[in-house]
Amino acid sequence: MTKGAAVRQRHRVAVLGATGAVGQTFVRLLANHPWFELAEVAASERSAGKAYGEAARWLGTEPLPACVAEMTVLPCDPGRVTADIVFSALDSGAAQDAEPAFARAGKTVLTNAKNYRMPPDVPLVIAEVNPSHLDVLDAQRKNRGWTGAIVANGNCSAIVSTLPLAPIHQQFGINKVFVMTMQAISGAGYPGVPALDILGNVIPYIGDEEPKIESEIQKFLGTSNGSAISSATFPVSAHANRVPVENGHTVCLSIALEQKASADDVARAIADWRGAECLGELPSAPERPLVLTMVPDQPQPRRQVGTGGGMSIVVGRVRPDPILDVKLVAMGDNIMRGAAGASVLNAELMVHRGLIGGT
């Protein structure tokens, strides 16, 4: 994360819901960010007023930076948070009212909450996949009477699935997608999944996850007309499972194509893809958003979750599918690429394009 370190003045940012698992990841990523200065942390009333180091049960393996530990936790109130760029790790109950309130108050909210992912005037963005969806922000402001904005991050499994689908859709067109997930426990936050439920076990169900995966993949791969986003219309069917893995979601994908192509063609499309042009300059962008492996039993979460600093999706086993056209396995870091890291990358993209922080 040293790319571009010296080029510009750092933008002051705040984290909402800073004490939880995703919030802590934001804090970790922003504590030494070359473009952003972590100026404020906010959380629930219960934590507000305490020092962050007391309020948060720090989960990181590296110690919490002292300067952050000493910050006083603010309430999630746009009248108290002064930063204009706000990363939200709020749970959906808190996000429902708080995020529009911040947007109304002129803040740009980059959110991990599920609440505002699906309206057509809210961009649901993966920086490498659909940066053009940010062009609906003017319409969003107009529609809603906001001076700020909400930009949404997707569900972790939807992100891990969409990245390898993107070059396939761009090059060959996608007709149908089966996605079967094996999701890490870190995706459920902390304390999250009780050990008694998952040790040596599989839970073939994650509440509300399958509809999110299905609809968000369609929106990520949809199109914007400048004022609204239309989701792609190909059907998606998801099976979501929890497995005893600490970090890294693995997804099995079977894909039908518009335009016939071999497994080799698809593998090449994945290997060659670099995403949208500009991203190499962004501090959080990995060298390659997709890394293709030819090792027969890879990708594996424990071995490869850190690829590209946790921001690359590792793709393997690209092969013909007896029913649809091609099948493959993808794996990515659900915390970095699937949550906080993706939001930070989105914010970097917006700075780079002059959509925030410009003045």
Catalytic residues: 156, 249
Give buried/exposed letters for 94-110 (b at 16+ CB in 10 A, else e): bbeebbbbbbebebbbb
Minimum distance between the CB of residue 336 and a second copy, rounded to whole angstroms? 15
Indicate the SS3 state at residue 347.
Answer: helix
Q: Which of 56, 68, 94, 236 binds a second copy (CB under 8 A)?
A: 236
Of 246, 277, 276, 268, which is closest to residue 315 (Cα–Cα)?
268
Contact 39, 85 (CB under 8 A): no
Q: Which of 100, 299, 332, 338 binds a second copy (CB under 8 A)?
A: 299
Q: Which of 54, 97, 138, 197 binds a second copy (CB under 8 A)?
A: 197
Amino acid symbol at 229 = I
Nearer to a second copy, 30 or 329 (CB): 329
Minimum distance between the CB of residue 279 and a second copy, rounded to whole angstroms? 23
Give the whole-angstrom CA distance, residue 327 versus residue 316: 10
294 binds a second copy (CB under 8 A): no
Minimum distance between the CB of residue 228 and a second copy, rounded to whole angstroms? 23
Ordered DSSP codes for 76-119: S-TTT---SEEEE---HHHHHHHHHHHHHTTPEEEE--STTSSS
Residues 303-332 that bind a second copy (CB under 8 A): 303-304, 306, 316-317, 321-324, 327, 329, 331
Residues 167-186 that bind a second copy (CB under 8 A): 176, 178, 180, 182, 185-186
Nearer to a second copy, 199 or 278 (CB): 199
Stretch of residues binding a second copy (CB under 8 A), selected from 7-15, 46-54, 231-239, 280-288: 231-239
Pairing verdict, β 174-182 and 229-230: unpaired
Pairing verdict, β 174-182 and 236-239: parallel
Contact 35, 351 (CB under 8 A): yes
Number of residues that bind a second copy (CB under 8 A): 57
Contact 87, 29 (CB under 8 A): no
Give the whole-angstrom CA distance, residue 23 versus residue 332: 19
296 binds a second copy (CB under 8 A): yes
Stretch of residues binding a second copy (CB under 8 A), selected from 120-128, 137-145, 146-154, 193-201: 193-201
Using CB under 8 A, list all residues that contact a second copy: 59, 61, 176, 178, 180, 182, 185-186, 190-205, 207, 214, 235-237, 239, 241, 243-246, 250, 252, 254, 296-304, 306, 316-317, 321-324, 327, 329, 331
